[in-house]
Every structure is written in structure tokens, then in C-alpha cells.
Amino acid sequence: MKDYYRGIGMTSDRTRDRLIKRIKEQGVQNTVVLDAIRGIPRHIFVDEALASRAYEDTALPIGYSQTISQPYIVARMTELLIGNSKLPFKKVLEIGTGSGYQAAILSQITTWVYSIERINVLQQQAKQKFKALGIKNIVTQHSDGSLGWEYKSPFDAIMVTAAPNALPKMLLDQLKVGGRMVIPVGLGGSQALMLIVKTSTGFEKQVLDRVSFVPLLEDCM
């Protein structure tokens, strides 16, 4: 790996360990998740001008009015997605590739990540990052993620990183029985973070936290 990927100064191991400590203090316990956050260099997924802030526990702009999620939220959502499931998952669907950071974290817990993004430029940039890091198990698609990826379904888990007003039915349909979906739902700047588990008779739904995500929009660009 080139030095830039390994990180120096503000992107060094020590800086990353501080972030892990903070995420743990906020209640994330799953060591698989913490190891994934430690192992994937977040500074690669932001603009070089912001690299020195990559290990602060904060969302950062990635262009096109979009953001890379706060590391704690990535950790929390990944932990909820896993629950008590046996890892690795076979197939995880992510809606909203964005910077690619969450997809890279997911790549550590599943055989295949399928990730959909509506903004082509962001998707192309994310693909370059995966390549640079040698991550080979993320497959991407440029389309409206609310329709899911039926051809590859059913999924063990679905992670939605942009907020719809209501649960997208097509995504629910593409979950396996026993499969889990983590999704922010609601209008405006603040949404309910929901965990949905598909059972043989229907869906178990829980509201967990208040979160703030960009809206899930249908049109592609």
C-alpha cells in the first residue's frame, strides 16, 4: 500500500485509535464492526483537502450536496445490520454509495456488496477508491435504489443511507426471510432510524435513534 493509503500525521493509526475509542464510548461493542472501522482508511474517501479531518467523528461534504456519514453512525448502523447474524453474510445491498466508505466497511462482513447510487460521478469516484484499496467484492449500479436490485435478490441485509418518506416496498420484498434492513425514514432534516427484520409471516419493525440523512431521490444524474 502507498504511504498515502496507510496514513501519516492526522491520518495515522493513533488518530484512528482515538476515533475507535470514541465510537466504543458511544456504545458500539461489536468487535467485527470496530475492526472494520479501524481497518478501512476513511481519509481515502474524502477530498484531500479534508483528509486531516477524516478521523473526527463528523459527517463531511463529498460534493453534489451529499455527505460521507459520521463514523459513529456508520458503526451503529453496521452493528444493527449484523445483530446476531452469523457472518459473513452472502449478499448485502446498500442504497446510496456516496463516497463508498460505508460500502467498504460492509465489504468486510459479506461475500458480496451490491451498492446503488443515483449520481454517476460519485459512483465512479467510489469505484476508484475500491480499486486503490484492493477491495474486489463490491458491485455497483447507477440507478434509483428505491427499486432495489431484484436480479440479485434476496439479500441477507439491506442498508439504506439516504432517507425515504416511507419504507420502500420493493426493498422489503428483496429481503430474505430472517434478513435485516437498517433505514432512516422520514421527511426533512431528522429521521427515525429503523431496523426491519423479515419473518416468515411479515416484518418486525423497531425505531431506534433519531438521525439526519440526505433525502432518497428518484431521479438519476
Total binding residues toward ligand SAH, as defined by CB under 6 A: 24
- Rule CB under 6 A: say whether 116 interacts with ligand SAH: yes
Query: What minimum distance in Å lies between the beta carbon of 142 and ligand SAH?
Result: 8
What cell was used for 152? Answer: 440479485
**What DSSP string describes 80-135?**
HHHTTPPSSEEEEEEE--TTSHHHHHHTTTEEEEEEEES-HHHHHHHHHHHHHTT-
- Rule CB under 6 A: say whether 32 interacts with ligand SAH: no
Mutual orientation of helices 71-82 and 13-25 as an angle, nearest 10°? 60
Query: What minimum distance in Å lies between the beta carbon of 201 and ligand SAH?
Result: 29
- By beta-carbon proximity to ligand SAH, the closer residue of 65 and 84 is 65
CB 40 within 8 A of CB 104: yes
Residue 69: active-site member = yes
Q: In this chain, which of 117, 125, 130, 157 binds ligand SAH, going by CB under 6 A?
A: 117
What cell was used for 174? Answer: 428483496
Of how many residues is the chain composed?
Answer: 221
Query: What minimum distance in Å lies between the beta carbon of 144 and ligand SAH?
Result: 4
Cis peptide before 154 (omega within 30 of 0): yes
User: What letter would DSSP give residue 215?
Assistant: B
What cell was used for 89? Answer: 453474510
- By beta-carbon proximity to ligand SAH, the closer residue of 91 and 129 is 129
- Rule CB under 6 A: say whether 185 interacts with ligand SAH: no
User: What letter would DSSP give residue 13?
Assistant: H
Site string for ligand SAH, 143-172 (x = CB under 6 A): -xxx--------------xx----------
Helix, strand, or coil (residue 190): coil
Q: Which of residues 49-78 bind ligand SAH (CB under 6 A)?
A: 66-69
For ligand SAH, which stretch binds (CB under 6 A), given 14-22, 112-120, 128-136, 176-184? 112-120
Q: Which of 12, 69, 107, 153 is catalytic?
A: 69
- Rule CB under 6 A: say whether 33 interacts with ligand SAH: no
CB atoms within 10 A of CB 88: 14
- Rule CB under 6 A: say whether 193 interacts with ligand SAH: no
CB 114 within 8 A of CB 89: no
For ligand SAH, which stretch binds (CB under 6 A), given 14-22, 27-35, 93-101, 171-179? 93-101
Helix, strand, or coil (residue 64): coil
Q: For binding to ligand SAH (CB under 6 A), which residues are involved?
A: 66-69, 95-96, 98-99, 101-102, 116-119, 122, 144-146, 161-162, 214, 216-218
